[in-house]
Structures are given as C-alpha cells and as structure tokens.
Structure 1
Amino acid sequence: MTDLPLTALTRVRRLPHHQRTDRAALYGVIDDALSATVAIVRDDRPVALPVGIGRDGDDLLIHGSTGSDFFRRIAAGAPVCVTVTHLLGLKYARSLFDSSMRYRCAVVHGVASVVPPEEKEAALLALSEHLMPGRSADVRPMTARELAATMVLRIPLAEASVKDNAGSLVEEDDDGEDRAVWAGTLPLRVVAGDPVTSAQTAAGTPVPASIGRAAARIAASGTA
C-alpha cells in the first residue's frame, strides 16, 4: 500500500505534524463516515453539498439524480474537492486562543468518472452496503427506471490529505497559564437511537437485523 503523495493541494501547512500520509488512515476516515461535503466551482461561484459516500477500493463512490445540474457538471469533468470530517471533541484550554477541537479529517481532490450502466447496480449496492449494511436483502431489487434515474460517480483517491489530531494535548507544561482555571476535553461521538417504525408499516412487522447491524457499525466507529 503506497503512501499518499504530497502535492501543492495536499500538503498540510498548519500544524503539519498532524498530517498522515498512509492510505490506511485515509481509508479509515472514509470507511467510518456516512457522508461528506462535495464542492465544485459553478458559474464562478463555489458550491458545496452534503452527499452519502462509500468506498470501492481506491475510489470514492457518490451518487445522485441524473437530473441534478450539480452532478452533471461533476460528470462533465468539473474538478471536485471532497471533505470528510469526524469531530471527536472540544478542547477547553485556559484561553480562548488555545481552545480547539479534536478531529480526524480527509480532503480529496480529483476529477470524477461516471460509472457505466453495466457496473451501476453493483456500485449502488456497494454504497448501500456501506450506508445500510444488509438492507438490500430486506427490500425489492432496484428497477430499470430507478437505475436510469441515478448517476454514480467514482472519484479516485489519488490526491488526498489526512489530518488527525485526536491525540493532541490540551495544554503544555510551563505555559504560564493559571492552573486554577479548568482545562480539559469534552468528548463527542455519534450514536444511533432506537428504531422508529413508520406509521404505515404493517402492525407487528419486526425490525430487521440489518437495522441492528447499522446501529452496531455506528457504535463501533463512534463517528459518521
């Protein structure tokens, strides 16, 4: 597994000692996430939208409507910037200036390619398995009309940066601050609540095991 190359786009300039260049770190940030922010420049203005994500090997998968101007521009070759962030905690230092956050994040730069029709269903199933593991076995298959209305895009994970300050310190020895002021960390994590059955679901329908698997996945990662 090769390291991530350092380029003008991917080199971390602020606190560079928190940068990770191993692909395992990049894949971990992506695989522990359910969504990302995708940004492009449209008509000379930046536009950023949240999307669900999945990973297929060295590619990031996203999907949307074939009628979406945003997705059509990406499919036509508009450069994209994808950001994935896991907020792990608030760092309470003894001054506002030194207070900060703990996080893991990845930023991916690239040009997407459209998944061809013959590969689209498999790519959508890969996305579904990441977002809702096992759900595809509970529901009917996708129809030809649904497949035709959906665009799936691959973004190569070739140019990306990862920053991980999860273990960063709140304070330093001999920093001259007043130790009578409380300092520490407020940990943050994403949790899954109890499933809520829709009003139109037949009475007595059991909650499928796939819902529990999704909850367990979120609990294991603690982030989304």
Structure 2
Amino acid sequence: MSDLSATERPRHRRLRENGRTDRTALYEVLRAGFVCHLGVVDGGVPMVVPTVYGFDADHLYVHGSVASRSLTTEEPSDDPAADAIGSGSVGQGPGTAGDTVCVTVTHLDGLVLARSVFEHGVNYRSAMVYGVPRKLEGEEKLAALRILTEHAAPGQWDYARRPSRKELAATTILAISLAEASVKVSSGPPGDGDGPDAELGLWAGVLPLATTWLAPAADPLLPEGIAPPDHIDGRAGTRLS
C-alpha cells in the first residue's frame, strides 16, 4: 500500500504526531462515513457544501442534482454559488477551468475532558482531499453511482429500481482523485494527568461518542406486509463507524 501524497497542501503542519501517512488510514476514514464537506472558492468567497460520497482505490465520488448550484456550471448567473464548480471543465463562470476543490470527512469519537479547560479537546478521525473534479458521463457515471449507493447502503443497488435515463441526466457525479490527501487521528485520554493540575482533585477523562443505526421507519404510504429487506433491517443497532 503506497503512502499518501507528500505534496505541500496536505502536509501536516500542526500536531504532526496525529498524522497518518499510509493510504490504508485514508480508506478507513472514508469507509466509516458517507457524508463529506465539499469546499470551493468563488470570487474570493468560500463555500462549503455537505454531500454524500462513495470511493474506490483511486477516486472519491460526490453526488448531486444537476440543479445543485455547487455541482454545476451553466452560463454565469447572478448567484455566485451557481458557478462555483464546473460541470465538465470545472468552472465556466467565475471559477476557472481546472479549479481545485477541498473535500473533508470527519468523525467525532469523543470529548476529551481535562482538569483544565486549556487541555480540553476531541478524539477524532479526519481526512482531507485536494483535487480537480471531473464530471462523469455514461457507463462511468452509472458505475460511480453504484459505488456511492453501495457505500451508503450495501445491498440497495440490487434491491431498488435502477435510475432511468432521465434521472441520470438530472444527476451530477464528480470524480476527485485521491492522489493528494492527508489523514489525522486523535485518540486517548487528557494530557494533564501527570502535571500540576492532577493535584486539583477534579474528574478527567473521555466522554465517548458513537452513532448507532435505529430500527427502520417505514414510509407511511407503504402498504402493509412489505417488510424492510435484510440488508436494511440488519443494520438496526449497529454502529455507523
């Protein structure tokens, strides 16, 4: 497994001891969730959009309707967000062809509660990816949509109806290379257990946080007798990551 990019943008500058350099760590962070934040700069103004994602060994795939202003570039409009990211060349409006975006994925694993407020923190796993989005079409687009669907709900692609041509035309899938990425992971107890504040007699430790899937809630319009499929029902009570 190759190391992550050693380029300047994703280089660890602060808390380097929390940095991870192997691609396995990147895949672990991406595998643990399915919502990312896509950041772009348009006319000097930053915009960050939450969206679902999927990934393979080489690319991150992000999804949105063609109407999603962050994922399209038609002709320049009066709304700066409408031209933030290009549809083919990535930036036919205020953005320029080949604009780089930044995608982040973060998982919060707990609050680190120390004896002093200064030493408080969080345990987390995070990834940051830089790249130039490429709009997918045809079979490549369909394959990426399957990756995205199966990442969020394994088994759903074969269970549900596949998208029609019209639905595919109304959907944008962007591919972003994983060639330039960084990962940080923070875990463990507070760092003031062997310092002067240890004499204060205050409780210190970690308040863990976990996200758990609940029981499926049926559509109110669903006819009686249609049970959730095993791949959905079986997730109840399990952790997201």
- Extract unaligned runs of 5+ from structure 2: 73-84, 91-97
Q: Deviations over 1:16-46 (max 9, x none)?
A: 0110000000011001111110000123210
Query: Does the 8 A contact of 1:111 with 1:155 survive in 2?
Result: yes
- Cα distance in 1 for partners of 2:180, 2:161 equals 37
Structure-2 residue corresponding to 1:89: 110
Q: Secondary structure at the match of 1:186?
A: strand
* 1:132 and 1:214 in contact (8 A); partners too: no
Bigger shift: 188-197 or 203-212? Answer: 203-212
Distance 2:168 2:194 in 1: 62
Q: Is the 8 A contact 1:123 1:152 kept in 2?
A: yes
The question of 1:186 aligning with 2:207 is answered yes
Give the whole-Å Cα distance in 2 for the aligned partners of 1:96 and 1:156.
39
- Report sequence identity in percent: 39
Q: CA deviation at 1:66?
A: 1.8
Corresponding position of 2:82: none
| Correspondent of 2:166 among 126, 145, 163 | 145
Residue 67 of structure 1 corresponds to 67
1:176 to 180, 196, 208: 196
- Following TM superposition, the consecutive aligned residue runs of length 4 or more in structure 1 with deviations greater than 4 angstroms are 213-216
C-alpha distance 179-111 of structure 1, shift in aligned 2 (>3 A): same
CA shift, 1:196, in A, is 0.7
Map of 1:44 onto structure 2? 44
- Asked if the contact 1:112–1:155 (Cα under 8 Å) also holds between the matched residues in 2, the reply is yes
Q: For 2:52 and 2:66, how far apart are their aligned partners in 1?
A: 16
Q: TM-score, normalised by structure 1?
A: 0.92
| Amino acid of the structure 2 residue aligned with 1:61 | Y
Alignment of 1:10-25 (within 5 A): 10-25=10-25
Of structures 1 and 2, the one scoring higher in RCO (CA 8 A, sep 6+) is 1
> C-alpha distance in 1, partners of 2:173/2:218?
29
Matched, 1:26 2:26: yes
Q: What's the RMSD between the two structures over aligned residues?
A: 1.6
Q: TM-score, normalised on structure 2?
A: 0.86
Q: How much does 1:111 deviate?
A: 0.6
Residue-by-residue CA offset, 1:180-213 (whole Å, 9 max, x unaligned): 1000000001111111111100012111112135
2-structure distance, mates of 1:132, 1:121: 16
Asked if the contact 1:74/1:80 (under 8 Å) is kept, the reply is: no
